[in-house]
Structure 1
Amino acid sequence: MILHTNADFYIVAKPSGLGMHTEGDTLGIIALLEAQTAESLYPVHRLDKETSGLLIVARSSEAASIFGRLFETREIEKFYIALGGNKPKKKQGMIQGDMAKGRNGNWLLKTSQDNPARTQFFSHGTGTGARLYILKPLTGKTHQLRVALKSISAPILGDKRYGGAPAERLMLHAMSLRFTWKGDAMEFLLPPSAQADFAPLDWSQFPSLTTPWEYDWPVVHS
């Protein structure tokens, strides 16, 4: 699970189906990592249980505090990949709005903008009946990306909660992280092709996925 070791943090590959924290007799990823490393570890962000991909896990409370500030000031770039509906209301741009819980416990995207969830995205056709979405969240709300794609009529495949078409798993993967740590530029990539249970597309037709930060992301001011 550990892909990269730094004196201050680990970069970890979380599989789909593994929760962040222990549930009953099922250990979460943090407990598993602590058993593996014999260290007390500090998660600095989270992924849904069904989502696979890259996690930053701090090795000290001091490092966790620094990461908290970096996330707060949007100095950590996160890029996700998803397979969703093939006929979205728009194929690229920004999805933003306040989020609120509906009566059934699901999150909804509202038109108000008091404290909005904000997600930039591009998409590509795949020729499979599903569309490929490259997502860059600018905020970190619960179920943000899942709700964002549902809001443009493109729910993620395998997302039973938000109306996605059936699939073996939730087709959402945290593909890349990019940030500066103590003066050093850090770039980490875990391509979807590395996930045996992710969609078996011909990923060679999407070479831009190896450097998702080089998409023409518009600059967004707070």
Structure 2
Amino acid sequence: MTGPRRDPDGELRARLREAAGVHRPDRARILARVERGRAAEDQGAARPRLPDWVRVAGATAAVAGVLVAGGCAVASVVRDDAPARHPVAAPPGSRETGSREAGPLRSSGAVDPHSNEFWAQSNITLGTSTALTALTVELRVAQTGSVTSTGAWRSLPADDFTFTLDERDGFLVYRWTLKAGRTVPAGEWMFAGQYNHERGGRDAGGDRYSAAATAASGPLAVRGGFTPGG
């Protein structure tokens, strides 16, 4: 008569249950293994993990870069939208260092740089961009003491003008008048009055000049004072 059959699988399961009931896991060993595993993963990584403060700094720099780029773009837009600035021309007839402009006629006055302590010459430079059919130029030299005329000249033909010299109202007055039927061509021309004066430097602040002309566009006029000689 045979005895009962053994159940190897059943015995194994029973022993495993018994062992599981008395087993107590070693927490310290488990944690140590976990840490070793993490260390191995960090060493084998292709790119090391950066510290938190480095990542924060990098993110801050990136944001700053975006803000700077945006600021530059805004500045560029503002600059491009600003209205262009253009030089403003002086209005006709305004005086600039003894010079006046009136349409096609312009002028300036200056004491000749070759003047000396006894003698001087006052130069009137007259420029015109169109032909003139009438012209009268007058130079008034203030009587500052012993002022006497020593001559006058002009760069245009002498036969085209009538010249007069007077002394009135405290001025020595030189006047050139274009003769009828004559014309002054476009260009730059000079009229000069020469005179003696008391020894020493003479103040030309009270001297004046004026010119009245006629062109195809109508009457023109300029006037001004004198800058010191060079």
TM range (shorter): under 0.3
TM-score, length of structure 1 as denominator length: 0.22
Rg (Cα) greater in structure: 2
Greater relative contact order structure (CA < 8 Å, 6+ sep):
2
Q: Which of the pair is proportionally richer in strand?
A: 2
TM-score, length of structure 2 as denominator length: 0.22
